[in-house]
Amino acid sequence: MTNVALVAIACGLIIGLGALGACVGIGMMGGKYIEGAARQPELMDKLQTKMFLLAGLIDAAFLIGVGIAMMFAFANPFQG
Amino acid sequence: MAAGSSAPTASEYIVHHLTHLNSSGAAQKNIIDFSIVNWDTVFYSVLTALLTAWLLQRAARLVSAGVPNRFVGAIESVVEFVHEQARAIVKGDLAYIAPLALTSFVWIFLMNAIDLIPVDLFPRIGELFGIHYMRAVPTADLNGTMALSIVVLASSIYYGIKAKGGGGFMHELFTAPFGAHFLLWPVNFLMQVIEYLAKTVSLGMRLFGNMYAGELVFLLIALLGATVTWWGSGLHFLTGLAWAIFHILIITLQAFIFMMLALVYVGQAFEHH
């Protein structure tokens, strides 16, 4: 297996595993938000602000991983 | 682009667009190199900072006792929003902290918004002036975002010393979170250092990761248009539109998250353990 192939597999793993965690996290949080909004509709707006904040935090590690994977895909610093 | 007669390949195009206009004239060789300055990041961040200052200052001038016009009304709603969040989170003197949050929100939003401008536009204009590499988005550069994050760290340390006194701050550095026993001092200190480091690095890298990934997807979509076929250009337009609309949300969200976390970190300086 060449280096290029290994880099491609590595990028796929980084993005895929990160997406797995991020999506499960957002799904759980979104479900709880909708449940809470269904129980107490008057809190919906306040909770929505906090929900977006949390969505950004949950996605953080995933997007850092995407950034690193893209860097390896196009500007591999370990090459040569 | 390539000075020769052939068009660049896909990866050449992307690598070219990912190269900064830096003080060494070529792409950066080492991952960490403090002798190189990315002039494009400096230029665009200063430009957007001046734009932020000008916009907010103009709105402040136009504030009057009567009914505000739309521009002043918009700025007022942003200021009110930030002020409300700051008041809820920071239990201390808001005189400089709320403006810090407002500035970081508006400035980071404007820097991120440069990403919505077509990818090739500014680099092409730069080519006319002899500038061969340009990356227009300052927050898609790790240097830019870590600079913002380090300022937040410095602010939280400054306000920590101001709120607790120099002695109190040092005392808390060595006795929180586990306790005042002298055997726990190294453990406490290590935990505090790791906490500050993790907060700073994650704040900077979150913004960088989002903007870098966004820019890269725009570049990949632009490659579709480079096929110069009817379906390629059509797909370029459609996917570009969809991604740009999604990116508007991401831009605002990331600026908002940075502002909220800056408020939370500075607010933690006022909390006593």
- Please check whether residue B81 lies inside any domain of the structure: yes
User: From CA B50, how far away is CA B55, in angstroms rounded?
Assistant: 9
Question: What span, in angstroms and rounded, lies between the C-alpha atoms of B200 and A55?
Answer: 19
- The Cα B273–Cα B271 span in angstroms is 7
Our CA-based measurement puts residue B14 at a distance from the nearest CA of chain A, in whole angstroms, of: 7
Of B148, B155, B154, the closest CA to residue B255 belongs to B148
ipTM beyond 0.85? no
Contact A57 B208 (CB under 8 A): no
Q: Please report residues of B whose CB lies closer than 8 A to that of A52.
A: 253, 256
φ and ψ at residue B120, rounded to 5 degrees? -85, -10
Supply the DSSP symbol for A75: S
pLDDT at B25: 75
User: DSSP string spanning B215-246?
Assistant: HHHHHHHHHHHTT-SHHHHHHHHHHHHHHHHH
How many domains does chain B fold into? Answer: 1
Whole-Å CA distances, A41 to A37, A47, A53, B103, B218: 5, 10, 19, 33, 38
* Residue A7 in contact with partner chain B when CB distance is under 8 A: no
pLDDT of residue B3 exceeding 70: no
A vs B, Cβ pairs < 8 A, gives 49
Query: Does residue B163 lie in a domain region?
Result: yes
Ordered DSSP codes for B122-178: HHHHHHHTT-------GGGSHHHHHHHHHHHHHHHHHHHHHHHHHHHHHHHHHHTTT
| Catalytic residue IDs of A | 59
d(C-alpha B138, C-alpha B116), whole Å? 13
Pairwise CB contact (< 8 Å): B257 & A75: no
Q: What's the mean pLDDT in B58-64? A: 88
CB contact under 8 A, B209 and A65: yes
Q: Which residues of B are catalytic?
A: 202, 206, 210
Chain A positions touching B115 (Cβ under 8 A) are none
pLDDT for the residue numbered B5: 52
Q: For residue B203, give its domain range.
A: 12-27+35-268
Residue B22 backbone dihedrals phi, psi, to 5 degrees: -115, 175
- Cβ contact A70–B216 (<8 Å): yes
What's the confidence (pLDDT) of residue B272? 74
| pLDDT, mean over chain B | 89
Half-sphere exposure of A18 (CA within 13 A, CB side): 19
- Chain B contact set for A26 (CB, 8 A): none
Mean pLDDT of B230-257: 92
**N- to C-terminal Cα distance for chain A?**
17
Class of the domain covering A3-74: mainly alpha
Per-residue model confidence as pLDDT tens digits over B45-56: 999 999 999 999
Asked whether residue B1 is domain-assigned, the answer is no
Can you tell me the distance from the alpha carbon of B244 to that of B238, in angstroms, rounded to the nearest whole number?
10
- Collapse the DSSP code of B22 into the 3-class scheme (helix H, G, I; strand E, B; otherwise coil) and give the result: strand
- Per mean pLDDT, which range of B26-30, B34-38, B190-194 is the poorest? B26-30
Listed by start position, the domains of chain A span 3-74
List pLDDT tens digits, range A12-49: 999 999 999 999 999 999 999 999 999 999 998 888 88
Q: Counting every residue, how long is chain A?
A: 80
Is B77 part of a structural domain of the chain? yes
pLDDT at B4 over 50: no
Cβ separation of A67 and B209 shorter than 8 Å? yes
pLDDT of A59 higher than 90 = no
% chain B with pLDDT above 70:
97
